């Protein structure tokens, strides 16, 4: 550490220049990182629905339709003209309508009254037409904008691709909006907690440089999810701001006795273990997300993990150089203490520790059970419920009924079996329509006598495609039961079968996430437990600290259950690890201070002093993180981000309450057990591990 601190002192101008250049480059590179708005793309490659989509792309030249366009009061000729214009839009790989099913020549020469009525009404009813579109992934926003220009306000467009386009449009400026509100609020908190008007700017410059560098390095991945792009910068700022506060406070304390360079060397050496331990617990929480098979977690976890590394390096290298070059500015901008005196808080919290501890123990198990029984949402349809997309979807449903489309792929060759399967599928609950070669054209008609464009809708070189329409929403018990019923029915006729569709992808997402949740929590808790075990060299303390923060997490996640509100699974997964990794630092700080004070004082006095000396630091950190979460919720139009922000803000305040009100009671209550299960303890009033404690 002495070599590093001396190198920083000797090369402070060069370090400043390198970090400023890296920050500018990072900001520029971040503009070229692609953003993925489709969470389905992050399913495991071997998921059933992912395999089905891959086969369909290879065999049929496109995916299952992911958008619908409804044209009102149009003739057959008008529909075909609209279809030609829409098909020419860049990013649209297919447009399917009635002419593709019965053949364009048949549709043009045969009155619709002579065609199969049930088939026709799926596409053309009361002079309204409904087309199915497939929009290429990544092209949603530009394609939907072009569609709106073609169909105008009087017609409607809906579907997953249209929802993704709306989500993309909504979230373009959300990071900027969040930062515009968050930075001034954080500045106010930092001004109150520091003794110089310039110091808060150094904090923000230090972490800001780390954020820009982190965002720029995402160019190595090619693309990141919209959740990572929105959440990562805000979380990195809120979680790692403490590191710079630790260092600068230590520097200011040593400056009272030493020259700036000597004070900085001592501050760097003193802060290294504290900052490293804080970063380690946070990194473990983020690293746990990387083990998710649903790769949104890995995307966010990896981004936050390297963000914390960059913040750590920035605080330990860039900030000392910046501070030493700006000592005169810090001295000139000194101000009086603005932080309220919290001296009485220690006595007050000691008085209420037992009621709060009993309350926490009473509600812990009910909240644990409640949060484990939450109802989850996996799709993005609720994001656009109040926009034009939501209104258009309601209009299409009103005129054509609810249509949730899936595509079943089975081996080609046996038309008789295919006809039997189609008939069986049509009798399943919630299945409104089954469109296959046998139902649309007839199993008895040889393919040689059918127009090629009609045959191509149903047959590839190896597979037969059966289109299944249901009347369920994209997700929920009815939708997932229908998916299972279709798969079970197909298994009775074929050994190989593949099912694709939005509901199928969400069904696979649910199965994947249920496994991920247990794994991620186990890794996060286990990893942090080991860090605490090594840090404190104690068997009992890790249990107390993990219980303190986990109880706050259980209470936080039980709110949706008790209010009857479905919870988006992304918020659930992320907050379980982020709240643990980010707020366990508060418990570590309190416990470290208590153990130090316990060497000099009886247990109750030691805890009272601990609260008085450390509550302000924990309060500042918690307020910063909580306000960051609430800012995300306030500035976003995306329900997923809003929900995640609310969980983060509320969870941080709950962790603060548990650390300030419950942990003191636990440490005092289990003082004797802590003493007996902690190595090299030197508690006040105890000699050689024996003797009675002085109250």
Query: Lowest-pLDDT range, 40-44, 489-493, 535-539, 641-645?
Result: 641-645
Closest CA to 170 of 643, 631, 635: 635
Q: How are strands ordered across the β-sheet holding 404-411?
A: 431-435, 463-470, 404-411, 498-501
Residue 436 is assigned to a structural domain of this protein: no
Lowest mean pLDDT among 2-6, 389-393, 654-658: 2-6
Domain count, the chain: 2
User: Quick one: pLDDT at residue 255?
Assistant: 84
Dist CA 478 CA 492 (whole Å): 21
CA–CA separation, 56 and 50 (whole Å): 10
- Residue 694 confidence (pLDDT) above 50: no
Domain residues for the domain of 351 are 342-373+537-695
55, part of any domain: yes
Looking at 45-191, which runs of residues are DSSP E strands? 67-71, 92-96, 124-125, 128-135, 156-158
136, 170, 204: which is the final residue of a domain?
170
Residue 212 lies in a domain: no
Q: How far apart are the first and last CA of the chain?
A: 40
- Residues 18-43 have a mean pLDDT of 90
281 near 585, Cβ under 8 Å? yes
Quick check: is 660 in a domain? yes
Q: Tens digit of pLDDT for each residue in 546-566?
A: 899 999 999 999 999 998 888
Contacts within 8 Å (CB) and 24+ apart, 75-79: 75/127, 76/107, 76/108, 76/112, 76/124, 79/124, 79/129, 79/131
What is the spatial distance between Cα 612 and Cα 601, in angstroms, rounded to a whole number? Answer: 14
Residue 125 within a domain: yes
Kindly tell me if the per-residue pLDDT of 385 is higher than 60. no
Which of 139, 154, 170 terminates a domain? The answer is 170
What is the predicted pLDDT for the residue at 188?
83
**Within a domain: 592:** yes
Query: Helices 2-10 and 260-289 sit at what angle, rounded to 10 degrees?
Result: 110
Per mean pLDDT, which range of 87-91, 121-125, 626-630, 680-684 is the poorest?
680-684
Most confident of 133-137, 291-295, 568-572, 652-656: 652-656
* Mean pLDDT on 451-465: 81
Residue 175 lies in a domain: no
User: Average pLDDT in the 625-651 region?
Assistant: 83
| CATH number of the domain enclosing 667 | 1.20.1640.10
Q: Is the pLDDT of residue 535 over 60?
A: yes
Helices of type H across 537-602: 541-563, 569-598
**Residue-averaged pLDDT of the chain:** 84
pLDDT at 689 over 50: no
- Percent of the chain at pLDDT > 70 equals 93
Single residue among 170, 196, 215 that ends a domain in this structure: 170
- Range with lowest mean pLDDT among 255-269, 432-446, 603-617: 432-446
**Candidate ranges 306-310, 381-385, 401-405; pick with highest mean pLDDT:** 306-310
Is 472 part of a structural domain of the chain? no
């Amino acid at each position: 550490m002495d070599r590093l601190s001396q190198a920083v002192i000797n090369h402070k101008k060069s370090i400043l220049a390198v970090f400023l250049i890296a920050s500018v480059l990072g900001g520029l590179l971040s503009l070229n990182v692609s953003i993925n708005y489709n969470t389905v793309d992050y399913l495991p490659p071997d998921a059933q629905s992912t395999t089905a989509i891959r086969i369909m792309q290879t065999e049929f030249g496109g995916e299952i339709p992911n958008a619908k366009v409804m044209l009102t009061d149009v003739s057959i000729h008008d529909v075909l003209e609209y279809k030609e214009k829409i098909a020419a839009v860049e990013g649209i790989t297919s447009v399917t309508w009635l002419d593709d099913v019965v053949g364009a020549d048949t549709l043009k020469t045969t009155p619709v009254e002579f065609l199969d009525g049930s088939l026709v009404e799926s596409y053309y009813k009361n002079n309204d037409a409904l087309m199915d579109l497939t929009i290429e992934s990544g092209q949603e926003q530009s394609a939907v904008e072009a569609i709106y220009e073609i169909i105008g306000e009087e017609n409607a467009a809906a579907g997953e691709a249209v929802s993704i386009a709306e989500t993309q449009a909504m979230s373009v400026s959300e990071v900027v909006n969040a930062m515009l509100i968050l930075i001034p609020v954080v500045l106010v908190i930092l001004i109150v907690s520091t003794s110089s008007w310039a110091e808060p700017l150094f904090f923000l410059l230090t972490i800001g440089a780390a954020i820009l560098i982190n965002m720029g390095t995402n160019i190595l991945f090619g693309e990141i999810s919209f959740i990572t792009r929105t959440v990562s910068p805000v979380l990195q700022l809120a979680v790692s701001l403490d590191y710079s506060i630790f260092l600068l406070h230590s520097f200011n304390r040593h400056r009272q006795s030493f020259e700036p360079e000597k004070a900085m060397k001592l501050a760097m050496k003193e802060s290294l273990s504290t900052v490293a331990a804080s970063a380690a617990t946070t990194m473990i929480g983020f690293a746990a997300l990387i083990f998710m098979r649903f790769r949104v977690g890995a995307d966010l976890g990896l981004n936050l993990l390297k963000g914390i590394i960059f913040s750590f390096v920035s605080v330990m290298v860039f900030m000392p150089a910046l501070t030493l070059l700006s000592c005169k500015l810090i001295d000139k901008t000194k101000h009086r203490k603005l932080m309220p005196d919290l001296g009485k808080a220690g006595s007050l919290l000691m008085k209420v520790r037992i009621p709060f501890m009993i309350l926490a123990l009473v509600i812990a198990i009910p909240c644990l059970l409640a949060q484990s029984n939450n109802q989850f949402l996996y799709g993005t349809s609720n994001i656009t419920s109040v926009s034009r997309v939501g209104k258009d979807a309601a209009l299409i449903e009103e005129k054509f009924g609810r249509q949730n489309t899936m595509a079943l792929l089975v081996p080609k060759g046996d038309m008789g079996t295919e006809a039997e399967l189609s008939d069986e599928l049509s009798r399943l609950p919630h299945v409104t329509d089954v469109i296959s070669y046998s139902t649309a054209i007839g199993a008895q008609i040889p393919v040689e006598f059918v127009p090629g464009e009609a045959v191509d809708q149903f047959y590839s070189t190896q597979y037969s495609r059966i289109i299944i329409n249901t009347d369920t929403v994209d997700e929920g018990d009815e939708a997932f039961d229908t998916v299972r019923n279709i798969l079970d029915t197909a298994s009775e006729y074929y050994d190989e079968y593949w099912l694709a569709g939005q509901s199928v992808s969400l069904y696979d997402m649910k199965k994947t996430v249920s496994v991920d949740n247990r794994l991620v929590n186990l890794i996060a808790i286990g990893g942090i437990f080991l860090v605490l075990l090594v840090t404190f060299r104690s068997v009992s303390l890790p249990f107390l600290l993990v219980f303190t923060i986990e109880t706050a997490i259980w209470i936080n996640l039980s709110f949706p259950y008790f209010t009857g509100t479905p919870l988006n699974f992304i918020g659930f997964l992320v907050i379980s690890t982020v709240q643990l990794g980010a707020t366990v630092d508060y418990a570590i700080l309190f416990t470290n201070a208590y153990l130090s004070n316990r060497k000099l004082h009886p247990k109750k006095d030691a805890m009272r002093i601990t609260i008085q000396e450390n509550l302000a630091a924990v309060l500042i950190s918690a307020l910063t993180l909580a306000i960051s979460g609430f800012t995300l919720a306030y500035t976003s139009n995306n329900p997923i981000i809003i929900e995640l922000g609310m969980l983060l803000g509320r969870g941080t305040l709950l962790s603060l309450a548990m650390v300030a009100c419950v942990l003191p009671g636990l440490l005092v209550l289990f003082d004797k057990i802590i003493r007996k299960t902690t190595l090299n303890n030197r508690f006040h009033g105890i000699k050689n591990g024996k003797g009675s404690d002085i109250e």
